[in-house]
Structures are given as C-alpha cells and as structure tokens.
Amino acid sequence: MGQTTELLKRLFLEEWKALLLANLLFTAFSLPLLTVGPALLAMNGVLTRRADDRGNSSCWVDFWYVFKAKFWRGIQLEAVVGLYLLIILWSAGVAGQLDGAGRTMLWLFISLSLFLAAMTGIYLVPLLADSSIPFFSALWDAALLSFARLPRTLLAMGAVYGSLCVFLLLYPISVLPWAMLLLAAAAALSVALVWPAINELIFPQE
C-alpha cells in the first residue's frame, strides 16, 4: 500500500487546489445532464494524470483536454449505464410479480448484479479516462481487475459509494459540499487505491 500512501499525499496535500477545481468543473460541466459522463471522465483524468506526474500546471487545461478527447466515451458510458439500469428496473418489476423461490432467486440475482457492476465501475471510470483501450475491452479489464485486487476494490467502493450514501442521507445539506469538493475527494481516494493496480496489470500490455 506504499504507492497508495504516496498518491494520497500527492492528491490531497500537493494537488488540493486541482482537486477543488476539478470538482467545481465537474459540477459546472454536468449541469446539462447529458454531459455527466464526459465530465466524470474529465475529472478522473485530471486525477490520474496528476497521480503519474503528467498533469499540466493548469487543471483547467487538463480537464478540458480530457473532456474533449473522451467526450464520446463519456456518452457511451452514460448509454451503457442507462441501459443496464433499465434492465435492473425491469427485472425488479418482474420480481415483484413473482412469489416464493422464484422471487427470492431473482432478487438475489439483481443484488449480485448490482454489486458486480459497482465493483467494475471503480476501475472502469479511470481506465476510460486515461487510456486508449476500446470501451468493451476496458469494461472486461475492469471486471477482471476488480477481482484480481479485491481488497483495493472493496476499499475504493467504500470511499465512492460510502460518500454517495452520506450524500443521500444528508440531502439537501450535502449538496453544496458535494458540488464543491467531496465528489473529487472520493474519486481521489478511489484513484489512489486502484491506479497502482491499473499501472501494474493493464498499462504494461498497451
């Protein structure tokens, strides 16, 4: 975990201004809603570039570069997530109409599917933000990584989805701190945990 500790120091102590600005830029660029995916990739791209000391002196330059370069990837991410959620909602509707063992099994399948998707997403977003790997190859790599580095995956999930749960529990009080800093802080924790594994297992193959 030595690399993770170094990344945490870099992102939260040396690059805290970039962290703050990346969060504000994500909030601003997400306002049209259609651009949430590209904005999410851009924010993570800012963090991964700084994790490897590749960041521009201007956070805005990095954010805008990744936003433009990965725009259609972000839209593709939105489409895939949206389709997946529609399938989950349809499955939940079907489960509600079943009785007995069939209902229980379908709910178990839905729960397991959501957990696996949450695991995969932890690696997929930084991979899409900072690599040229095709979308579905990145999805496959992210799924494999989530199991290959399971302890890191679970810690990163705690940081990202735990902060999301806190946001929902404290809503609407949490809106302002989330929009200003907390989202990027959760993403930075996740990047610090998963980026060493991505560098070790994925990028040497590119």
Over residues 57-78, the pLDDT tens digits come to 899 999 999 999 999 999 999 9
Q: Is pLDDT above 80 for 176?
A: yes
Q: How far apart are CA 91 and CA 109, in angstroms?
A: 9
Q: How far apart are CA 90 and CA 156, in angstroms?
A: 29
Averaged pLDDT score across all residues of the chain = 94
| Mean pLDDT, residues 15-43 | 95
Dihedral sign of CA atoms 60, 61, 63, 67 in order: positive
- pLDDT for 204: 61
Instruction: Using a pLDDT cut of 90, give the percent of the chain over it.
Output: 89
- pLDDT for 78: 97
What are the distances in angstroms from CA 148 to CA 115, 139, 173? Answer: 16, 14, 38
Half-sphere exposure at residue 193, Cβ-oriented, CA atoms within 13 angstroms: 23
| Mean pLDDT, residues 111-138 | 95
Q: Is pLDDT above 60 for 95?
A: yes
Q: How far apart are CA 159 and CA 139, in angstroms?
A: 21
Where is 165: in which H helix or E strand? helix 150-170
Answer for the pair 97, 119: CB distance below 8 angstroms, yes or no: no
What are the distances in angstroms from CA 185 to CA 16, 25, 45, 62, 148? Answer: 9, 14, 14, 17, 25
Q: How far apart are CA 45 and CA 55, in angstroms?
A: 9
